Structure formats: C-alpha cells, structure tokens
A and B are shown apart, each in its own frame.
Chain A
Amino acid sequence: MTQALLATAVPVAFDLHEHSWHGRLESLLGQGQAAGADLVEVFIERTDNLGVLAEQDTITNVSPAFGMGAGIRVFLGQRDGFVSTNDLSDAGLLAALDQALAMLGLQRSVPRLSHFDGLPALRDFAGEKRDWLQQSPSLAETTAALLRGTDQLNRHGQHLQSRRGSYARNWQAVLVAASDGTFAHDIRLHQTLGLNLLAADGDHRASVGRRYGTTDRPDDLRQWDAEAAALDLCQSAGRMLYADYVEAGQFPVVLANRFGGVIFHEACGHLLETTQLERGTTPFADQVEQPIAHGAVTAIDEGLTAGAFGSIAMDDEGMASQRTVLIENGVLKRFLSDRAGEVRTGHPRTGSGRRQSHAFAAASRMRNTYIAAGPHSPEELIASIDHGLYCKAMGGGSVGPTGQFNFAVEEGYRIENGQLSSPVKGATLIGEAKEVMPRISMCADDLELAAGFCGSVSGSVFVTVGQPHIKVDSITVGGR
C-alpha cells in the first residue's frame, strides 16, 4: 500500500517534448532581450528529496520534500540582476523577468533591437536517467539499510553512547535556457549515507563519523557494505577514545588520502574560482603560468569521474562538464570560471557554473577536486619525519577572507622517528594557502576521492575532494 501510494506521488520530469516549454521560454527570453538585456538566462528545476535518520535501533525521522522553482538572470554589461520564484506560471515568470530587468534599469515596455534568434533543439543530457527516481531504493529498503548500519556499529563498537545512520536522496531535474542559444536538460541523482557514533567512558569521549556519497547510481545504497563501514568507524572511535590532546606547535605533517583533500579544496581551490578574482580576494591573481606550489603538486578539478559526488553531465548554465588542470607541476594553469566570471574577468568558462537550487545565481564552483598521485608510498612519507603529526581523518574547516585556513583533525597520530605512535585529539591545522602550497613536498601514489558538501556564494553543492597521502614540511598545529 505504502509503495503504491508513493509511486503515484512520483513527479514526472519536465515533459520537454511538449511544445509549450520551448515556446514559453523562447517568449520569455525574447522579451528580456528586446528590453535591452545583453543576455537572459532561465533556470528551472523540479526536486524530489528524501531524508531518513536511524538512531540506535529505531528509525526516528523520515522527511520527504518536493518542490519546483525558477531563477531568471539578466546581464547588462558586467552587471546582472537575478530573481527566483516558486511561481512557474506565465504571469509568475514574467513578473520575475520584469523585476530582474528593473534591477538594471530596463523594462519590457521599451523594446529595443533584439538579436535573439530563438532556441535551438534541446540538448538533452538526461537520456536514460528518466527512470532513476523510480529505480532508487524504496523507503523500506532505505530504512532497512540504515538499521543494518547502526546494528553493525553496536556489534563492533565499545562504550557506545549514541549510534546514528543517515541517508539523503536528492533528485533534481533541471532545464536551462538562455538567449545565447543555450537550451539543455539534465537529471541528477545524489545519494549520501552517513554513520556517526559517540563513545564515552567516564570523562573520555570520542565522536567520529564518515559520509559516503555518489551521484547517478540509483543502486548505490543496495551495494553498501554496512559492516565494513561500521568496523572502520568503530576502530577509529576505539583508538580516539583515550587519546591525549595534541601539543601545539609547528610540525611536519602527513595528511591521509581521501578527505585529507579538504584542505586543498578549502585553502587553495576556492582561491582559483573566478568569484574570488572578482572580489580581489585571491593571492593568485595574475599568476597564471607562474609557480604557486611545490613542483610535486599537480591539481585537477573535473566533473567527469563516473559516480563521483561532484560529477555533472552539464553545469547549471547548460555547459557540458570538463576536466580542468588547475596546477601542473606547481605552475598555475587555469581558474574555474562560470558565465559571470568570463564576463567580468575574461577567464573562459570551464563548465563550473553551479548552484544549490533555483534560488541561487550560478557561480564558479569546484566539482571533483584533487591533488594528483605522486611517485612515493605513504610509508615513505611517514618515514621521512622524525617528529610530526599524521592526520588520518579530517573534520571540517574554513577559510577566512584573507586566505587563512583552519581545519579540525578528527583522527590524528604522532609521528616519532619515522613511525606512527600514539593517537592524539584536539588538533587544528592553521595556515595560509600561499605559504603552505610550496611546502607540499611529497605526494604518494594512493589517490582516492571522498564525497562532501561545499557551501559558498551559490549555496551548498555536491563535491568530492581528494588526494594521495601528502607531506607538508611545516604547518601550525593548534592544540592544548
């Protein structure tokens, strides 16, 4: 009964083969262009999301959500006006267009010469994705998988005070049309699964978590190895429960692969977005083809890796995704750019215009961003350090407006005489990208990616971070 009713509630993606959408959008773009805009862009989306939470051995929250909306952006020179609305009627879209035009001193009642030639045939990136929502796990499958996860935590953990498993499915159908002839459609499916636990023994406490995520793989949850995930988490918690607080100071550090890449993402990646160039807040402006990192560092941002959380067939401005080499052997090669970035900074678009939803104007954002693999083994990196810190798992972090970054180390170990020793907690890595990039002196050969969310000017988007094990010759470690 439940699944039958849910099935009736599943929305259809845009029926783009109906003439009505093509005609409505063409009319809207034509009117905006005739009012004097240099370019008009319309982004329309439908969403169907699901969140499920399991705590201990009970499903404690199921939260479905669905919605729709449009974002209309008008460019005039280097300026733009953006209006979002939940009203997809002709009147609602026209009202939004009028408001966006008025922001730039334009109005529809004063038509000017228009060079809008109409929309071409749809560029359809959705293809075989139309059934993905229906192919995704049912609620019953989802809840069963999460309860398997929390049960496995219980089996493998000790001193557990709290066990949580969470799942989110984000389905999004998007349609992008612009007066430069862009007309594209895509369907995205993101699934993410998290496990967290809190262990407590007297005054000793350890909270650890892991998040896994994929895109465009409806079957992903069905193939999740709950036991392996729980075992990994419980082993981390067991090691960290009685860990000492780290001593503060400046040390050489080895950052583990996978989520260790969050530091490159936050500390350097954001500075290579044209939004930072526009603000004048990147120290790397005017440094294309100049060395900005150690020669051991090559860094890439791309949207192409199959199933990776940050992969996109097209960006939110209708441009096909691509692979962008940011840094090659330490030399800055390219900035990530979107439509506005190209207009304002001259850096050509890289298929990186991304936004959380219709309520945000697209901005240049990262996709799958990672430091490329190097020639060393992880053991060689650790063996090269007499006294330092090994950061096995990173927590969150942030970068300030002057480029200073800080990151919490969730699971850390001292390095003594080239070998790992006791676990430590409470460490924070502090630095500045411009100073730290030249200190990444060794990269291992074990590149792996990890899923995450990136919050910035155009909202929260799905990304992956990644790297092999890397060695930073010296970095400030905050502790007690």
Chain B
Amino acid sequence: MRTRLETLAAEAGIRQWDLGAACSTDTSVQVDRGEAKQLKGAQRRSITVRAWNDAGLVGITSTSDLSDTGLARALIGAHEASAFGNAADTPAFSPLATAPLPSLDQPLREQRSILELLDTLKEAERDLIGRHGAIGTVPYNGLAQRSSERIYLNSDGACRQQQLTTASLYLYARAEETGRKPRSGGAVRVAYGAADLDVAGCINEAAERTIAHLDYAPISTGHYTCVFSPEAFLDLIGAFSSLFNARAILDGISLSHKDSIGEHLAVPFLSIHDNGLHPANIGALSFDGEGTPTSRLALVEGGILRNFLHSEATARAFGAQPTGHAGLGAKVSVGPDWFEIGPTPGVNSGEQGLDRFASSGHSAAGERGLVVIESLSALHAGVKASQGSFSLPFDGWLLRHGEQRSIESATVAGDIRQLLQGIVGFEGKAKITPDGLCPWVWVDHLSITGEA
C-alpha cells in the first residue's frame, strides 16, 4: 500500500499525504421465535486520504475502491479539495505519529461459522422466552462477530497497524400481561470472540430487567432524588462530552472555554478519566485517526476540570499535546474513548450525603421517594449539549416506603452543570460496562415528568 501510494502521489505531484484504511469481515445473525430471521455477512474496505498542496492547505477524499484507479482518484480528489482548505486551521501530522504504541492484550479469536452463531442465538432466545410466561418474544436480538484491520500511513514514514477481533450479543425482550401494557428490557455483551461471550449473563440480565418492569405504575410529576445506574450515568456524561472536547470549544459549541481548565465543574469527590486502554475496553484502539497513541487522560479530578481531549490541530491551538482522541479529516473531529468515573482518591466519595439517606431509611428523599434511573433513551434528541440541558425518557423504579415499583413512563430533565454540582454521592463499586466504568450515582433534586 505504501509503495503504491508513494508512486501515485509522486505522479500527481503530491509531496505530503497521509492515509487511514480499514477492512473488516463481519457475520451476524438475528432470530425470531426459533427461526433464523436474517443471516448477514459483509466484507468491507475503505480508505481516507489526505493531501497537502503547495500552499500547505489540506484536502481529503474517502473511497471503498482500493484499485490503483480508485487510489489515484482519491489522491487527486484530496488534492483538489485542498484548494478549499481552511488556512486558519490546517491539520499537520501528529508529532506522536511515530511514538511507541501501548501494548494491548487483545487476543485474536477464530471466527465461528454463521450456523454456529445461529444455534447459539436460537438457544439464547429460547432460554430467555422460557424465563417468564409474559415474555413472548425477543424482538431485538443479534449475535455478531468481526475481524478487522486498520492502518495509518503518512509520507513522513509513520506506519501504524492494528488487528482486532470482536463479538457482540444483544437481547431485548418484550413481555406483556393481559390487560397491561407491553414492557421490555435488554442486555448487551461484548468480547474478543463469540466463544468468549457471556451468553448466560446476558440472558439473565435481560430476563431480570424485563420481569422487573412488569409490575408498573405511573409516577407523579415533581422533583426527586435520583440514583443513576452506571450505564445511565455513563450515557449522560458521554452525551455532554463536548465539555471536554477541544474541537467543540474552538467551534464555540461547548459549555467550556479555552481557559476553563482549573474550574470547579463538579462536586469535589468526582473524577472522570478517559482511558481507552482499560483492559475491559473490548475493541480498544492503540492509536487514533492521526496515528497518535491512545493514552489515559484525567478530565476531571476532585471536581476540577484538568484536561481537554485533543487532536493534533487543537493541541497546537491550546499549546498542548495530542491526546489520542482524533479522527481523520480536513477538519479533524475529536471524541472520547472509554470513561472511568468514580470517587477522587483520597477524598470522601459522598458518604455523608448517602448517610443522610441511609440513617433515615431513605426518608430523607421525602414523601415522594427515590427514583432509580436504570437506562436513558433518546439521547440524540433530548440532549442539548451546547445549552447544557437535557430532557430524557428513562426506564427505572420508584423506591418509596420500602417498596420498589417500575415506573410506567417518565422523563428526567435538568442542566448538566447543576447535575454535576448536585451529586450526593456514589454507591457501590464501579461497574464495568461496554462504555466505561462507573458506580451508582446519587443526584439531588431532578425534575421528573410522569403520567400519574
């Protein structure tokens, strides 16, 4: 690939270029009441080429055509697009594109036959439906595996390569009892190979979540103390990750500013790190789109904003180093990898806040009770990241007078800055999820809209 590119670039008179490429083989199955619903396979390949022109401006083109004709056209296209490059914000090669990469323990697993995947999923569906008489179907389900490879090359000699295998299973059951509304619940598992998937755990969790919501009641609209599950809190922080995103700050669409480092963003016992290298992060990338090594980065420590996520260009603008969170583009996007959220070491983790509830048998939550938010939905629609506001439907429970009951249908609304300052404490050990790790998080005085 390098030789072909060097030849083609020389022919086109392009002296500076870089390339990101990926190819993958995927197989996946879905089932419906004991029958194969759809079996899918895919062979994918794609490249993205950037070319710098003599004025130092950059252009980009992407294609799935990896023939010499396709590569040549992509290079020419990128060179042409560079005429419209942004002189005020031109990316360069990452200074870390040739730095040593972290060592990741990522076993490469053999791909299983699609008929084996099908048998596994059929059995899982049968098992899940058999857990409760009200569970009639598992309308959303899938078992998939992927073998992939990605590379990054540039004309200064950088050469990155990574191979990876992953597998995933999701089961989302639907249950309905006579005269009552249908309820649903689900679970997801990821692993390096299909044989490594915790199928039993996924079935158990999907069954428990579905059954737990069968007995539901509406909730009254008002303000409640809420307890976010690790998954829900990680989703919320992810939706507001523009707080930490240097690209969003430069674009003026973040709540943070260039000089926000050092500000008290949250309660003093909250820390947030981005750590794509965590061993539990299945599918971790060892380098980002610009070839910068992935690394662990403190975003919030002791409630104080410590660092932003950077690409090469944003790092240059902030006088910082790239952090390994970049995409590949003429305007390079920046995004988080995998969050570690929890108490700041050496600082109390809000025990006093939780003690207030424990000593009073939760009565400190008031006559209304506590709302447990198990999962949030519609984050793409209900989060206004640039404004800080959110209004999101959720699945969860109301804990009141020692009883726990599923909430029929409700939304939780608030402001992310107020929420981060309103955290009462953490409960339990941090739980590992596909998106990061986090304990249960208690937050005071959030607005809940219900239908009671």
Contact = CB atoms under 8 A, between A and B. Distances in A.
Kindly state the interface size class of chain A when it binds its partner: 35 or more
A78 B425 CA distance: 53
A144 to B, nearest CB: 11
Interface stretch (A26-34, A95-103, A226-234, A324-332): A95-103
Contacts of B348: none
B162 interface: no
B184 A401 contact: yes
B5 to A, nearest CB: 17
Interface string B65-103: 110001001101111110111101100000000000000
Contacts of A69: 64
A427 B41 CA distance: 42
Given A84-B42, A87-B43, A361-B38, A67 B64 contact: yes
A436 to B, nearest CB: 12
Contact of B37 (A278, A281, A404): A278
Contacts, number: 230
A205 interface: yes
A58 B84 CA distance: 10
Given A59-B86, A207-B387, A402 B183 contact: yes
Nearest to A398: B378
Nearest to A360: B40
A206 B387 contact: yes
B15 to A, nearest CB: 17
A460 to B, nearest CB: 12
A476 B139 contact: no
Contacts of B183: 402
B161 interface: no
B331 A428 contact: no
Contacts of A278: 32, 37
A2 B83 contact: yes
A6 B80 contact: yes
B43 A96 contact: yes
10 contacts: A9-B80, A62-B59, A66-B74, A83-B43, A139-B81, A162-B386, A279-B140, A280-B174, A400-B393, A478-B410
Given A63-B62, A248-B413, A402-B181, 16 more contacts: A61-B331, A64-B77, A67-B46, A79-B36, A84-B41, A96-B41, A103-B114, A139-B81, A207-B387, A280-B137, A404-B393, A426-B389, A430-B409, A432-B409, A476-B409, A480-B447
Interface of B: 32, 35-46, 59-66, 70, 73-74, 76-81, 83-86, 88-89, 114-115, 136-137, 139-140, 172, 174, 181-184, 221, 251-253, 329-331, 377-378, 380-382, 384, 386-389, 391-393, 409-411, 413-414, 447, 449, 451
Interface of A: 2, 5-6, 8-9, 52-53, 55, 58-69, 78-87, 92, 96, 99-100, 102-105, 139, 143, 161-162, 198, 205-207, 245, 248-250, 278-281, 359, 361, 395-398, 400-404, 406-408, 425-428, 430, 432, 476-480
